[in-house]
Amino acid sequence: MDKLLFGLQVSIIGMGVVFVALYFLTFVIRAIELAVGKPAGKKPEAQAPVVETVEPVAVKAQDDEDEISAVIAAALAAFMGSGYTITSIRRLPVQPAAAWSSAGRNQVIQERLSMY
């Protein structure tokens, strides 16, 4: 029972110290704002938003595929650097995967993302 009370006392004291320190930091930040002051000058006046009407343009499917290919090529060039040539881009067929393989794949992706 003594250990439980000691643990509660330490927790309460620790949270109290953190709370007081954060409260003190808010005063320090406000003092710095007052000391530095805000830059002098005019505040920008609110202007009425300009509304432009754009007529829809029929886009061909080939244009979309070319744009997607260009974006993929740019992303790969940025990732791998120069010296590589992309000869073709093709969509892989979607295959239903087992739940365990999807979970494993997601885990590997998350581990690799956490490295950066």
C-alpha span between 76 and 84 (Å, rounded)? 9
Measuring CA to CA, which residue among 86, 68, 69 is closest to residue 77? 86
C-alpha span between 41 and 35 (Å, rounded)? 17
* Banded model confidence at residue 6, pLDDT cuts 50, 70, 90: very high
Q: Which two tokens mark 72?
A: 């993929």
On average, the pLDDT of the chain sits at 81
C-alpha span between 99 and 37 (Å, rounded)? 58
- pLDDT at residue 20 is higher than 60: yes
Query: What pLDDT is stored for residue 115 in this prediction?
Result: 80
Asked if 89 and 73 touch (Cβ cutoff 8 Å), the reply is yes
Sequence spans of domains, the chain: 6-36, 59-89
Asked if 84 and 76 touch (Cβ cutoff 8 Å), the reply is yes
Asked if 89 and 75 touch (Cβ cutoff 8 Å), the reply is no
pTM: 0.32
Q: Which of 42-46, 76-80, 111-115 has the highest mean pLDDT?
A: 111-115
Taking only the tens place, the pLDDT of each residue in 56-98 is 666 566 667 788 888 888 888 888 777 777 777 777 777 777 8
Query: What pLDDT is stored for residue 59 in this prediction?
Result: 56
Query: What pLDDT is stored for residue 43 in this prediction?
Result: 61
Query: What pLDDT is stored for residue 84 in this prediction?
Result: 74
